[in-house]
Chain A
Amino acid sequence: MKVTLRIFRFNPETDSEPYYKDYEIEADPKDRVIDVLHYIKNEIDGTLTFRRSCLHGICGSDGMRINGKNMLACSILLQDLGYSDANKTYKKPIVIEPLPGMPIIKDLVTDFTDFWKKYEAVKPYLITKSPPPERERLQSPEDVELIMEASKCILCACCTTSCPSTWSNEDYLGPAALLKAYRFIFDSRDEATDERLDIIDTPNGIWRCHTIFHCVQACPKEINITWHISKLKQKLVEREI
């Protein structure tokens, strides 16, 4: 089939403003978006810039906005976007843009500096104060179940960059950092619950979440992020009263 990819382009060294460039290519409905991007970069236009690494939905490098939705380019087939007829020439282009609300370095590559700062702010590591046991710190299956879903986050930033609260206030911690906070606050081995609750209970912290659910729709790992954030809110209220 023939499809057109309308790709957001911006090179800060040469362009005063971003623009969209169309690439008409021959593709298979079972091609992934990342495959056609590779084809364009390798065969048509080597200046096209995008991030990717594992190509299997694990590393979270190739988060981008595809037809208006944040997703991983390696985890979406063209047929999933509605381009399913191998003998057809599709006039409606596949629009590919960088993740919204982030500074653009070049083309589809965005600056993750603030995203990582927010991530670091919630102390995304196990904190223990008690002396270490002889062997590992054990957890019951129930304890593991409590943090299992939150642990699946691959930090692709699809959630945070789809959140309107993040768009309106760039200092808002955002869903990814809050999910990471949940992952350690509800970890039975962690001993810094109050410390982390203090970090998220701030003007630009958890209370900027208005359960809009964009993060849930955007998450490529299908994590119910809003549910986890709600549990954090409950925990804060319980602590307060």
Chain B
Amino acid sequence: MSFKHYGSRKSGSVGWLLQRITGIFLIFAMVGHYILMHYTPETGHSYEQSIARFSNVYWKMFYLTFITLGLWHGLNGIWSILRDFKMKSWLAITLYGIIVISGFAFWVLGVSTALKF
């Protein structure tokens, strides 16, 4: 068993706070999503109805926020779990890189889809 000096590198407080703020947003967003998409038949799931929703500026803003905060919350959560485990720095950097690159790729994909209509 080894022990490392803890140093004075600041980390975590902003991420911790944002994780909670985005979590609260996602609770409401997910509940809203379920009510509208799964329990309100008139919302509609057809292509035309989906396009109409995406063309609405408020829906567009909601989807862009949802994509951004949802991705950030999920990936920051994964990174937070990974950091609970002791790992070599090359592995930590690799995993962090995968998370950042995949997060950015998914964000571009989501945003470009939402902005198409």
Residues of A within 8 A of B (CB): 103, 111, 113-114, 117-118, 121, 165, 168-173, 198-199, 201-208, 210, 233, 236-237, 239-241
Contacts and interface: CB of A to CB of B under 8 A. Distances in A.
11 contacts: A117-B3, A118-B3, A121-B5, A165-B84, A170-B1, A170-B86, A198-B10, A203-B12, A207-B13, A208-B84, A233-B13
A207 B3 contact: no
B117 interface: no
B1 A103 contact: yes
Interface in B18-69: none
Interface of A is mostly: helix
A240 B3 contact: no
B17 interface: yes
Contacts of A203: 9, 11-12, 83
Nearest to B11: A203
Given A170-B86, A198-B8, A114 B3 contact: yes
B6 A207 contact: no
B13 A236 contact: yes
Interface residues of B, number: 22
Nearest to B10: A201
Contact of A171 (B8, B12, B17, B86): B86
Interface string B75-104: 000001001111000000000000000000
A207 B9 CA distance: 13
Nearest to B6: A202
Interface of B: 1-17, 80, 83-86
A212 to B, nearest CB: 11
B89 to A, nearest CB: 11
Given A114-B1, A170-B1, A240 B6 contact: no
B4 A201 contact: no
A232 to B, nearest CB: 10
A239 to B, nearest CB: 7
Contacts of B85: 168-169
Contacts of B10: 198, 201-202, 240
For A114, A117, A171, A210, the residue with the greatest tally of chain B CB atoms inside 10 Å of its CB is A171
A199 B11 contact: no
